[in-house]
Amino acid sequence: MEAEIIIAIIGAVGVISVAIITTRRGKNMSKEKETVHEFVKSINEHNVNKIYDLMDNDFRFIDAYGSEETGKEHMRESWIGYFRWFPDYKIEIIDLFSDSNILVILGFASGTYQNKKAANDENHWRLPAAWKIVVSENKIKQWQVYCDSKIPFDIIERNNENASR
């Protein structure tokens, strides 16, 4: 079955961009979708070596604030550091859309800061998120995150303040 999905990215000043993406549901999954699923699986397993293998040499990471990091060597250390912050970090895929080698994931990201469990879950977060991914030759060339990361950073800051008291 084939369907057209219209995605509008809304910003503070209105619609920033609109894309019409054709998605196919069925048994045949494109190589690009397989690569993205494998990358997410590796993230969820915190398998930094597999994440590294799936990144293109000139891998580009763009965070929710538009800051960019490039190069797979540098990103290996960044993934290790992020998993130290959030040892149970995971991505839940609700929908995955593609237009050739550009893919969009809609879902959730979650984690618990340094696995510090609390009765009121104050160190845990689960937030709606989206990712724009560019795949080239079965490698992730770009990984861009759209998520309100204020809550996780507030949790980190609160824990650091408590530790320094």
| Interior angle at CA 113, CA 64 and CA 74, nearest 5 | 55
CA–CA distance from 32 to each of 26, 27, 93, 126 (Å)?
15, 14, 15, 26
Is 103 in contact with 33 (CB distance < 8 Å)? Answer: yes
d(CA 133, CA 36): 8
- In this prediction, residue 41 carries a pLDDT of 98
| 46, 27 contact by CB (below 8 A) | no
With a cut of 70, which residues of the chain have pLDDT below it?
1-28, 165
Answer whether CATH 3.10.450.50 is correct for domain 27-164.
Answer: yes
- Return the domain boundaries, the chain: 27-164
- Express each pLDDT in 117-133 by its tens digit: 888 889 999 999 999 99
Q: What pLDDT, on the 0 to 100 scale, is given for residue 164?
A: 73
**Helix (H) or strand (E) segment spanning residue 48:** helix 48-54
CB neighbours of 119 closer than 8 A, spacing ≥ 6? none
- pLDDT at site 134: 98
Q: Is the whole model's pTM more than 0.85, yes or no?
A: no
State the pLDDT at residue 27: 52
What is the rounded distance in angstroms from the CA atom of residue 37 to the CA atom of residue 29? 10
> By the 8 A CB rule, do 74 and 54 touch?
no
- For residue 91, what are the β-bridge partners? 109
Exposed e or buried b for every residue in 26-59, given b needs 16+ CB within 10 A? Answer: eeeeeebbebbebbbebbeebebeebeebbbeeb
